[in-house]
Copies of this chain bind each other. A is one copy, B any other.
Amino acid sequence: MTTNDSILVVGAGFVGLATAAFLATKGLTVTVAERNQFIVDSLRKGKLHFREPELAKRLKVVVGTGRLRVVLPSRDIYQKASIIIVAIDSADQQTWKMKLAAFERMAAWIGGVKRKQPAVVLLKSTNILGFAGLFRQLLDQAAFGHEVQLVVNPEFLREGCAYEDTVRPWRVVVGADDLKARRRVVRFYKKLLSASVPIIETDCASAELIKLGANLYLSHRLAFIHEIAEYAHLQSLDITAVKQAIGLDPRIGSDYFEPGLGFGGSCLPKDCYLINSRESETGFTFHTAETALKINERVLDTIVASLQIRLGRFKGKNVAILGAAFKPETDDTRGSQAVKLALKLRRRGAKVAVYEPFLTGADHIVDGNLPLAHGLNEALTSAHVIVVGTAHRRLRNLRPKTVAALVKNKLVCDRFGLLNRTTWKKHGFEFV
């Protein structure tokens, strides 16, 4: 790949934009295709449509210099590009089913034209095991599709530092069955990245397993600490000591080891599902994935059960959920356990008021069409119970005295250990 390559990034989400902004910062000219007109307009003004501080800064610069331009998808754009980086949601965020239609069109467009040099498609989107094989078949159905090189190049970005993780990744995985394609993409990354970044070269299917496997491990780790915390909670044990002592084994570690409402987000639960998807036709069951999802569900069911014991019927009861994002200090509610809990409680008749400090402008959360309280006080007023939904730092500053004056019951459910129990108990609050 050379600087003459025409680079197309498909999808203007975390992954697509972080990649595009990085390449543009490195001096390449990048086109981003995005089908949402609102997002296209916003990006053209250099404005990012989600919370990602470093990326927002970089984006503004590269849009300003013209190195990064944003367009609506078209056959023409695909056929001009020689490097196509696919970073769209390839599974539906609600049903977690494969979204094949977008790939069918993409394959027809990319493979529909004869090129001097073969186009290379870098699949960053995560999907079922064997998805690259399916996409290869789609490409091969197009007139010149067999000339297109397909590389599975999974992303491992953490939300909140998507740009930083693109510049300094823990590893880059280049999965291609065609050795020429593999080498081409390895050269591309070697030019862009520090020599200390490990590049793993492998085949397509192994690269797919690496991506889903890594997310399965992380889910598995979070499920583990939630299971331990749940037992500790039920038996009134010292969860802080338990968590700390277990994590002091360096083979275990203490990072990414916080209990709460379970694990959420747009990746981990989805990937636990995808790895066992019947669509993949491998017939193999990853027991660890089933278990992680099962534990995640139990966390919420246990809370519902213990609230029911305390509140009696849910009908007519007000539940204040503080925090709806799946991750602290973000506004991202995709796959949020707090949202799932709110919906579970609402289905049982409770009146649920959700307050999300990073979403004060919005009226509701798209998932489940859940209305948002317009402020903290609105959520707390007349609450029969307060549930911490996200471990946002600012929620630590809640004053029990102020809260006590608003609520109906001094009852709190805080599985994160965010609030200082001693202080809150002094003000008459009880923890459930």
Are the CB atoms of B235 and A282 closer together than 8 Å? Answer: yes
- The answer to whether A209 and B224 touch (CB under 8 A), given A173-B245, A217-B246, is no
Q: Is the CB of B213 within 8 A of A246?
A: yes
Q: Given the complex of chains A and B, what is the CA–CA distance between A284 and B237 in angstroms? A: 14
| Chain A, range 237-292, C-beta contacts under 8 Å to B | 237-238, 241-242, 244-246, 248-253, 255-256, 282, 284, 286-288, 290-291
* Docked-complex contact A209 and B242, CB < 8 angstroms: yes
Contact A227 B287 (CB under 8 A): yes
- Residue among B173, B202, B235, B248 making CB contact with A171, cutoff 8 Å: B248
The answer to whether B288 touches A241 (Cβ under 8 A) is no
**Which chain B residues lie closer than 8 Å to A295 at the CB level?**
287-288
Contact partners of A256 in chain B: CB under 8 A: 251
Known: A206-B238, A235-B282, A242-B206. A214 touches B287 (CB 8 A): no
Chain B residues within an 8 Å CB radius of A220: 220, 224, 288
Most buried by B among A202, A235, A244, A248: A248
How far, in angstroms, from A173 to B238 measured CA to CA in the complex?
A: 13
A216 proximal to B (CB < 8 A): yes
Most B CB atoms within 10 A — which of A201, A237, A290?
A237
Q: Are A205 and B235 in touch, CB under 8 angstroms?
A: yes
In Å, the complex CA distance between A228 and B242 comes to 28
B286 touches A227 (CB 8 A): yes
Residue A170 lies at the interface, judged by CB distance under 8 Å to chain B: yes
Residues on B with C-beta less than 8 A from A171 are 245, 248-249
**List of B residues within 8 angstroms of A282 by Cβ:** 231, 234-235
Residues 207-233 (chain A) with a chain B CB within 8 angstroms = 209-210, 213-214, 216-218, 220-221, 223-224, 227-228, 230-232
Q: Is A315 an interface residue (CB 8 A)?
A: no
Please, which residues of chain B bring their CB within 8 A of the CB of A245?
A: 171, 173, 200, 202, 210, 214
Cα–Cα distance between A290 and B290 once the two chains are bound (Å): 12
Asked whether B288 lies within 8 Å of A223 as measured between CB atoms, the reply is: yes
**Number of copies of this chain that the complex holds:** 2
For the complex, is A198 an interface residue (Cβ under 8 Å from B)?
Answer: yes
A156 at the interface (CB under 8 A from B): yes
Interface presence of A294 (CB below 8 A): yes
A241 to B205, CA, bound (A): 11
A390–chain B nearest beta-carbon distance, Å: 20
CB atoms of A214 and B249 under 8 A apart: yes
Q: How far is the CA of A230 from the CA of B283 in the complex (A)?
A: 13
Let me know if A252 and B218 touch, CB within 8 A: yes
Let me know if A213 and B241 touch, CB within 8 A.
no
Tell me, in angstroms, the Cα distance from A251 to B209 when the chains sit together.
18
Question: Which residue of B is nearest A275, CB measured?
Answer: B231
Q: Which residues of B contact A251 (CB under 8 A)?
A: 218, 221, 253, 255-256
Contact B200 A244 (CB under 8 A): yes
Do A200 and B241 contact each other (CB < 8 Å), given the known contacts A248-B170, A252-B214? yes
| A169 to B, closest residue via Cβ | B248
Binary B-proximity of A150-191 (CB < 8 A = 1, otherwise 0): 000000100000000000001101000000000000000000
Q: Are B170 and A238 in contact (CB under 8 A)?
A: no
* Complex: chain B residue closest to A234, CB-CB: B284
Beyond A203-B238, A213-B246, A218-B252, 10 additional contacts (C-beta under 8 Å) are: A200-B244, A200-B245, A202-B242, A203-B237, A210-B242, A210-B246, A213-B242, A214-B246, A220-B224, A287-B294
Can you pick out 14 interface pairs between chain A and chain B where the beta carbons lie within 8 Å of each other? A170-B249, A171-B248, A173-B245, A209-B228, A213-B228, A213-B242, A217-B246, A221-B251, A231-B282, A234-B282, A234-B284, A235-B282, A288-B295, A291-B291
